[in-house]
A = this chain, B = another copy of it.
Amino acid sequence: MPEQAAGTGHRAAPVHTHPDDVALLTALSALADPVRIQLVRELAAQPDWTLSCSNFDVPVGRAAKSHHFTVLRGAGLVEQRDQGPKRLNRLRREEFDARFPGLLELTLRADDLE
């Protein structure tokens, strides 16, 4: 099969939560972690669907990184799509900003003293 959608995947699709279904406390808790803040920032610095999980430069192992992505998905911050063995990521900018106006911008702002 040539380029047939590349999506025959028998793999379990990642579970997503739309920002509209996310509680404020969940969103704040998701962002109240230095590793996850860094993930969101690196994600924002590259085009959508260009970064796979292993491309992020955070000081934790694969297992912890996978856990953090689960949390970010659950908070409506990240969308993931499988492509081959990789899991590509996208920051849900507009949808999240519609639910929590300003919060993402705040997170992405390069503040000193962090």
1/0 per residue, CB under 8 A from B, across A8-43: the answer is 000000000000011111001101111001000000
A39 to chain B, nearest CB (A): 14
> A113 an interface residue at 8 Å Cβ cutoff?
yes
- Oligomeric state, in copies: 2
CA distance in complex: A23, B31 (Å):
13
Q: Which chain B residues lie closer than 8 Å to A106 at the CB level? A: 24, 100-103
A18 to chain B, nearest CB (A): 12
Total interface residues on A, CB under 8 Å, equals: 23
> A111 an interface residue at 8 Å Cβ cutoff?
yes
> A54 an interface residue at 8 Å Cβ cutoff?
no
Q: Which chain B residues lie closer than 8 Å to A23 at the CB level? A: 111, 113-114
Chain B residue, CB-CB nearest to A20: B113
A-B contact pairs, 5 of them (CB 8 A): A23-B113, A24-B114, A25-B114, A101-B102, A102-B102
A-side residues, CB < 8 A to B, are 21-25, 28-29, 31-34, 37, 100-103, 105-107, 109, 111, 113-114
